[in-house]
Amino acid sequence: MTVTQRDLLRVRAFVFDVDGTLILSESPDWSGAIPLPGAVELLTWLNQHGYPFALFTSGSTELPGTYAARLRAAGLPVADWQVVTTGVTAAEIIATEYPGRAVFVLGERGTREPLLARGIPVVEGEDGKHAGVVLVGWSRSLTYDQLDIACRAVWNGADLLVTSAARAFVSKQGLRPGWSWSIAVAIAETTGKAPRVVGKPSVEALRAVARLLGTVPADVAVVGDDPDLELRMGREAGSVTIQVRTGRGSEPVETPEIGDLVIRGVDELLVLLHAIRAKEDAPDE
């Protein structure tokens, strides 16, 4: 039995990147998503064999249910709760580590509603300056009054959380600036408070996803295509890391190999799981 097979044997749950790992999509909101080879079969198999899994995305614009519906339309067997946005990891981290603290949100419903769904108090307007947490997510605009309230909250002792550390992202229109991180840096510059990242590649984000799956990072396999995001996160958290090379198109992507296991795509992962399962079911040699 190889090292990789032994690693896979200890896996109790899976955390998947979505774009480039399970689907290819024309737009960042996954409209018109196309499943990558083996994705539908793999998730079906995991559901059948009782492996909890989550699809962890850096998106914080939409709610999990919206993303899940688009993925189901593409054929992936995914329940709403199995899509974990950075709005969800933010809520999980705040509920666990900042119990009772009110949150001032710079962001839209994808950042705000997962907090409300967890019963976390969200404060609006001037009351924001007494918040215990400032959470910065994706938005389309910022006003001076919002920046002012966020800075005052931090000056008053609030922690500064941000859903993404991405300076920029690639789109069909070319490179575009990240919003959440830019605005968090603006607040950090003014207040001197370092932002805490609650999305990829933060280990705490993965710990939050694992907790939602009823387990811990050491028992999780992280599957993704981006060495700087999910793979780095998985490696630092002590998870098994599985690197796919499907990336952003039909050609394999040439990225540094940092995964414990490097495969062409998730179809190969299904083959490996089949083999391991067969071995597990067979008498020990």
- The residue ranges that bind its own copies (CB under 8 A) are 139-145, 147-148, 151-152, 155, 167-168, 174-179, 181-183, 185-187, 189-191
Cβ burial of 147 (10 Å; 0-12, 13-18, 19+) is middle
- Residue number, 144 or 251, with CB nearest to its own copies: 144
Of the chain, the end-to-end C-alpha distance in Å amounts to 10
Q: How far is the CB of 156 from its own copies (least distance, A)?
A: 10
Taking Cα atoms as reference points, which of 282, 213, 260, 219 lies closest to residue 5? Answer: 260
Cis peptide before 201 (omega within 30 of 0): yes
Q: How far is the CB of 182 from its own copies (least distance, A)?
A: 4
Structure tokens at 89: 């990891």
- Residue number, 183 or 208, with CB nearest to its own copies: 183
- Residue number, 145 or 257, with CB nearest to its own copies: 145
Q: How far is the CB of 194 from its own copies (least distance, A)?
A: 13
Q: How far is the CB of 114 from its own copies (least distance, A)?
A: 21
Q: How far is the CB of 144 from its own copies (least distance, A)?
A: 5
- Residue number, 27 or 96, with CB nearest to its own copies: 27
- Residue number, 180 or 246, with CB nearest to its own copies: 180
Structure tokens at 233: 């996160």
Distances, alpha carbon 173 to alpha carbons 4, 26, 27, 121, 176, in Å: 39, 11, 11, 38, 8
Distance CA 133, CA 7 (A): 38
Distances, alpha carbon 75 to alpha carbons 43, 243, 258, in Å: 10, 23, 30
- Residue number, 112 or 245, with CB nearest to its own copies: 112
Q: How far is the CB of 141 from its own copies (least distance, A)?
A: 5
Kindly report the backbone phi and psi dihedral angles of residue 122, in degrees, each rounded to the nearest multiple of 5, phi listed first: -115, 125
- Residue number, 124 or 145, with CB nearest to its own copies: 145
Helix (H, G, I), strand (E, B) or coil at 210: helix
Q: How far is the CB of 61 from its own copies (least distance, A)?
A: 11
Residues contacting residue 219 through CB under 8 Å, at least 6 positions apart: 10, 11, 12, 13, 210
- How far is residue 176 CA from its own chain's centroid? 20
- Residue number, 90 or 151, with CB nearest to its own copies: 151
Distance CA 105, CA 88 (A): 14
Rg (CA), the chain: 19
Q: How far is the CB of 184 from its own copies (least distance, A)?
A: 9
